[in-house]
């Protein structure tokens, strides 16, 4: 399959090597017949799931040993693009050797992560990320057929987008893994919000418990808090210089709160960080004294020395504290 058959050649580099290899050479494409499964004393399950709106569909074959419910062989047929073929192939590989009960825990994120060449780089361009979402549904459908129950009975997560069957946990994980910043990016990666659009934001539809706009905002805030905590922790390990300005100010405020501020308040004063300016030689921290500390004789001698010494010890030896 030529790369221009998939999409513009300029985007070809956005595919992982695993994806491009499996597009042309899937390892588990094909079918398992009833006769073949019976000859091994096993049971055959065939499950179909189709996303007609985007032209993708997949048929999943499981050959299951009824003695222990283990999936001893699995194959697939995919009626979609090259990315869907690669995703279906990896999904099938992940099923083999698992029990049916273990297989239903496989998520779309598991499939996408397995397609990556390295853990930090997405396997496919954003506009093709949705092609891995069928795994979630077809696996549960196959498990339901084997166990004689509805596929929905395996549902353990809150489904936010009913049209694309995307769960809250999947959305949160995809936002974090790929540093998504807009609802449009979420739709590119998961197809959530790409159909009836009722899950995007309030208004125009029946009320929902979760909306993409709120999930994005909450998850981004959680990500920022995690970054700030990591940056503050890193400050004590000598990495203060690599922080952003906001992170540096927060790290300084944290050290001041722990070691200095209580003594200033006891004397009727306080202080605040006004600005930070860095050069190759120094990191100048500009502070302003408040209350009784403003104009106090020791504010430019002993107190200043105590503040500067603490910050040098805890954060960086390059720090100079300058009152203004």
Model confidence, pTM: 0.54
Q: Binding site annotation covers 293?
A: no
pLDDT band for position 175 (cuts 50, 70, 90)? very high
Residue pLDDT, tens place only, 230-241: 656 655 555 788
Q: Calculate mean pLDDT across residues 156-177.
A: 83
Q: Binding site annotation covers 95?
A: no
| Residue positions annotated with a catalytic role | 54, 131
Q: Which carries the bigger pLDDT value, residue 150 or residue 134? A: 150
Residue pLDDT, tens place only, 288-309: 988 887 777 777 788 899 999 9
Find out whether 214 and 193 touch, Cβ atoms under 8 Å. Answer: no
Residue with tokens 């605040």: 272
Could you give all domains of the chain from N- to C-terminal order, each with its CATH number? 1-155 (3.90.1010.10), 158-237 (no CATH), 240-323 (3.30.300.130)
Q: Calculate mean pLDDT across residues 153-165.
A: 76
Question: 113 is written with which tokens?
Answer: 């992560």
pLDDT band for position 106 (cuts 50, 70, 90)? confident
How confident is the prediction for the chain on average, in pLDDT? 84
In angstroms, the first-to-last Cα distance of the chain is: 67
Q: Binding site annotation covers 296?
A: no
Find out whether 170 and 176 touch, Cβ atoms under 8 Å. Answer: no
Q: Calculate mean pLDDT across residues 241-264.
A: 86
Q: Which helix (H) or strand (E) segment is 278 a member of?
A: strand 269-278
**What is the reported pLDDT for 159?**
84
Residue pLDDT, tens place only, 62-87: 999 999 999 999 999 988 788 889 99
Neighbouring C-beta atoms of residue 188, cutoff 10 Å? 19
**CB-based burial of residue 210 (10 Å sphere; 0-12 exposed, 13-18 middle, 19+ buried)?**
middle
Q: How far, in Å, CA of 257 to CA of 249, rounded? A: 12
């Amino acid at each position: 399959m030529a790369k221009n058959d998939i999409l513009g050649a300029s985007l070809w580099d956005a595919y992982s090597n695993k994806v491009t290899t499996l597009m042309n050479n899937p390892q588990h494409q094909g079918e398992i017949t009833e006769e073949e499964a019976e000859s091994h004393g096993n049971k055959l399950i065939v499950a179909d799931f189709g996303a007609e709106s985007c032209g993708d569909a997949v048929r999943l074959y499981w050959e299951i040993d009824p003695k222990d419910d283990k999936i001893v062989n699995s194959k697939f047929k995919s009626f979609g693009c090259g990315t869907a073929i690669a995703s279906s192939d990896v999904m099938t590989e992940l099923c083999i050797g698992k029990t049916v009960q273990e297989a239903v825990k496989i998520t779309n994120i598991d499939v996408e992560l397995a397609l990556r060449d390295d853990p930090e780089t997405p396997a496919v361009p954003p506009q093709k990320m949705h092609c891995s979402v069928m795994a979630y549904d077809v696996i549960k459908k196959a498990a339901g057929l084997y166990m004689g129950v509805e596929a929905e009975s395996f549902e353990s997560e809150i489904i936010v987008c009913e049209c694309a069957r995307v769960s809250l946990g999947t959305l949160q994980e995809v936002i974090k893994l790929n540093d998504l910043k807009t609802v449009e990016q979420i739709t590119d990666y998961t197809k959530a919000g790409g159909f009836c659009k009722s899950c995007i934001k309030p208004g125009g539809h029946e009320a929902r418990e979760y909306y993409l706009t709120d999930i994005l905002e909450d998850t981004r805030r959680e990500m920022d808090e995690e970054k700030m905590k990591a940056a503050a922790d890193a400050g004590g390990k000598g990495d203060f210089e690599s922080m952003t300005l906001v992170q540096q100010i927060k790290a300084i405020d944290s050290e001041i709160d722990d070691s200095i501020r209580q003594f200033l308040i006891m004397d009727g004063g306080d202080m605040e960080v006004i600005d930070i300016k860095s050069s190759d030689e120094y990191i100048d921290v500009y502070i302003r004294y408040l209350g009784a500390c403003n104009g106090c004789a020791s504010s430019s001698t002993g107190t200043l020395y105590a503040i500067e010494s603490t910050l040098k010890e805890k954060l960086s030896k390059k720090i100079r504290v300058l009152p203004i």
